[in-house]
């Protein structure tokens, strides 16, 4: 049995990690919940018992085997190496180590073999990248993906509890005919609005979020030649990210062929029946672990082009579920009782 620590236990992703450890009956001998000093002293319910949230300190990692961490990158840069030096394997949900060449960046449906390459830290990719590569991997294996043009429609829960609060309070004010509270988490009011900016802008005109999709996709897929052209948009949706994707492949591709390879792909569900108005919806994907694809259609001019719509719960598969799946891959390398 393994000893587990959840870091960032009081946050939105941390709360889902805790719930998933219960749902998936993750085998563990002991568990502890860690967070910043302002959350220390609060309690967490887990498997019918109440646990205190302990302060995040270097000493907290003694005798811990697996750390599931969801903190800001600055906190992870400080504490994840400490946990690894103490003998734990850290599954880190921040951006701190994703592009470190010595740290595996893993989506278990795509590159589970990379888990074995860890040196104490395994990076969990960005939420928008995770769902996209789950859909791209079967196409890449069958038809060789050369170019991806993606526009994301990302829910406010991707910005944590503060993002959810901002949408809810602004919506309530708008409906009541009251002045909207000033935005603090987003650059502009998010209620009844779309904001074509997620994270800071870079000198090349792209945002950090968009460049994460470019660089992380290539690393996870193991192919630096894949061309990714992203635009990331925040939308007034509580849970689940949606993506409109145009993929261009080396080999000719048809909707029927794509449906066929997707039907056999792990972690992916095809919802694609225009007559029934059946296609993925963020509201329906919320609280699910799968990636959903639909609106599958041929590029009007190119036999090597395919368009589709991709939806997944960003707090689950886009963060917590993927992290737990990585921990489950770790158990396969070092089974319970070993």
CA distances from 130 to 106, 146, 180 (A): 9, 18, 34
Q: Which residues contact 289 (CB under 8 A, 6 or more apart)?
A: 267, 313, 316, 317, 321
Ramachandran area for residue 200 (φ above 0: left; ψ -120 to 50: alpha; else beta): beta
Q: How far apart are CA 173 and CA 178, in angstroms?
A: 5
Residue 38: the pLDDT is: 79
Give pLDDT, residue 37: 77
Q: Residue 334: what pLDDT?
A: 74
- Which residues of the chain carry a pLDDT beneath 70? 335-338
Q: So what's the pLDDT on residue 39?
A: 81
Q: What local confidence, expressed as pLDDT, does residue 338 receive?
A: 44
Strand-strand pairing, 66-69 and 89-92: parallel
260-300 pLDDT, tens digit per residue, is: 999 999 999 999 999 999 999 999 999 999 999 999 999 99
Q: Hey, which residues are catalytic here?
A: 127, 241
pLDDT the model gives residue 335:
60
Q: What is the DSSP string of 25-75?
A: T--EEEEEEEE-TTTTT-EEEETTEEEEEEE--GGGGTT-SEEEE---HHH
- Sorted by where each starts, the structural domains of the chain and their CATH numbers stand as 2-125+319-333 (3.40.50.720), 129-314 (3.30.360.10)
User: Half-sphere exposure of 40 toward its Cβ, with a 13 Å CA cutoff?
Assistant: 9
Two structure tokens written together for 181? 């509270």
The model's pLDDT over 114-141, given as tens digits with 9 standing for 90+, comes to 999 999 999 999 999 999 999 999 999 9
Tell me what pLDDT residue 284 has: 98
């Amino acid at each position: 049995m393994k000893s587990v620590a959840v870091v960032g236990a009081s946050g939105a992703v941390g709360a889902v990690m805790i719930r998933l450890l219960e749902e998936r009956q993750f085998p563990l001998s002991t568990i502890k919940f860690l967070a910043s000093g302002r959350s220390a002293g609060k309690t967490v319910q887990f498997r019918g018992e109440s646990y205190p949230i302990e302060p995040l300190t270097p000493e907290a990692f003694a005798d811990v085997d697996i750390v599931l961490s969801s903190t800001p990158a600055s906190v992870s840069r400080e504490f994840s190496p400490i946990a690894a030096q103490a003998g734990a394997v850290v599954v880190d949900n921040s951006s701190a180590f994703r592009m470190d060449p010595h740290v595996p960046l893993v989506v278990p449906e795509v590159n589970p073999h990379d888990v074995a390459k860890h040196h104490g830290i395994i990076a969990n990719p960005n939420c928008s990248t995770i769902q996209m590569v789950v859909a791209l991997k079967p196409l890449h294996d069958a038809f060789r993906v050369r170019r991806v043009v993606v526009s994301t429609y990302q829910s406010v829960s991707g910005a944590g509890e503060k993002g959810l609060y901002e949408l809810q309070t602004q919506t309530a004010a708008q409906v009541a005919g009251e002045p909207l509270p000033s935005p603090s988490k987003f650059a502009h009011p998010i209620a009844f609005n779309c904001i074509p900016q997620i994270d800071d802008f870079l000198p090349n005109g792209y945002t950090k979020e968009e460049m994460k999709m470019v660089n992380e996709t290539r690393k996870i897929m193991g192919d630096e030649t894949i061309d990714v052209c992203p635009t990331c948009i925040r939308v007034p949706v509580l849970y689940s990210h949606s993506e409109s994707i145009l993929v261009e492949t080396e080999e000719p591709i048809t909707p029927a062929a794509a449906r066929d390879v997707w039907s056999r792909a792990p972690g992916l569900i095809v919802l694609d029946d225009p007559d029934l108005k059946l296609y993925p919806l963020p509201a329906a994907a919320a609280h699910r672990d799968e990636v959903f694809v639909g609106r599958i259609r041929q590029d009007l001019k190119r036999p090597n082009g395919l368009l589709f719509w991709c939806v997944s719960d960003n707090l689950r598969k886009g963060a917590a579920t993927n992290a737990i799946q990585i921990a489950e891959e770790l158990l396969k390398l070092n089974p319970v009782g070993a």
